[in-house]
Amino acid sequence: MKTIQKTAIALATSGLFATAAFAQSAPAAAPAAPEVSPITANISLVSDYRYRGVSQSNLRPAIQGGFDYAHESGFYIGNWNSSISWVNNLNPSVASSIEMDFYAGVKKELIGEGFASDLGVLQYYYPTSGNFSGTNVNPNTTEIYAAQNYTFGPVTGFLKFSYAVTNTFGNQNSSGSYYPDLTVNYDTGIWGLGVNAHVGYQYISGTVAGTSNSSLYSYTDWKLGVTKDFGGGLSLAAAYIGTNAGKNSSGLYNYASPTGKNLAGSTGVLTLTKTF
């Protein structure tokens, strides 16, 4: 469940330089800079896959990766994947070991340079084995989203609103759920270090057996972290993540592992990423 903020293609430029050499009467043009590829890829190792504050890997490490294509017009399309182990929490007879995200959209600097507006659609897909029954529904989810990116010197980030047009991650009658969130990044300019902060609110709509999904499953999540850029597309991020997701009337966590552990509890997460 990747938070998606793709940039448009950067256009490489080249200049001219003068050289003093025999038999030359005019400055020579420098070799053209290599074109920036419209395709990028990434792979990550994470100590706990947290999406909107909730563990998707039952508090265990995960491997992740994907690729993106961005056209100079602002159109982009991509795929991102992660190992997971939460689907059979919905029903022990159903299993899925991978999440596959497919997304596309348009991102343009409509307001001004450094302020890209982003509209798109995202499909969360979970290949499953077994059959859902009873109150359980398929976790596949489709969201549309709108985001406004911003840049103020070393401060960057985005304000985003995501809206589910299908049931949301296995919650019954939950079409119309939404997630507004704000992300802020600060480039310290020291040793490639950046500070990251995030806050969001996951609202789950609908009612099951006379009980509001909102009262059970809606919550606020937040993150505070730091990222180290080693250059060459390699980075390491450390973050402290938490939510205010609580317990149900039976005293059980609303987001719990098969052993009853709180999947939405506060924790530290390490992420090592290589971008190509």
Q: Where are the domains of the chain?
A: 39-275
pLDDT at 4 over 70: no
Higher pLDDT among residues 133 and 107, named by residue: 107
E strand or H helix that includes residue 219: strand 219-231
Helices (runs of H) and strands (runs of E) counted in the chain? 1, 16
Give dist(CA 183, CA 156) in Å, integer: 8
Mean pLDDT of the chain: 87
At 72, is the secondary structure helix, strand, or coil? coil
Query: Rounded to a whole number, what is the largest CA-CA distance in the chain?
Result: 89
Phi/psi at 84 (5° precision) = -140, 170
180 closest CA partner among 199, 155, 157:
199
- Do β-strands 267-275 and 234-243 pair in parallel, antiparallel, or remain unpaired? antiparallel
Tokens 């704000």 sit on residue: 182
Indicate the DSSP class of residue 171.
B
pLDDT at 109: 95
pLDDT at 30 over 80: no
Q: What is the pLDDT of residues 33-85, one digit of tens each?
A: 566 789 999 999 999 999 999 999 999 999 999 999 999 999 999 999 999 99
Q: Tokens for 82, please give them.
A: 């992660």
CATH number of 39-275: 2.40.160.40
Global pTM reads 0.85
pLDDT at 93: 74
Q: How many CA atoms within 13 Å lie on the side-chain side of 86?
A: 31
Task: Give the Cβ contact number of residue 211 at 10 Å.
Answer: 12
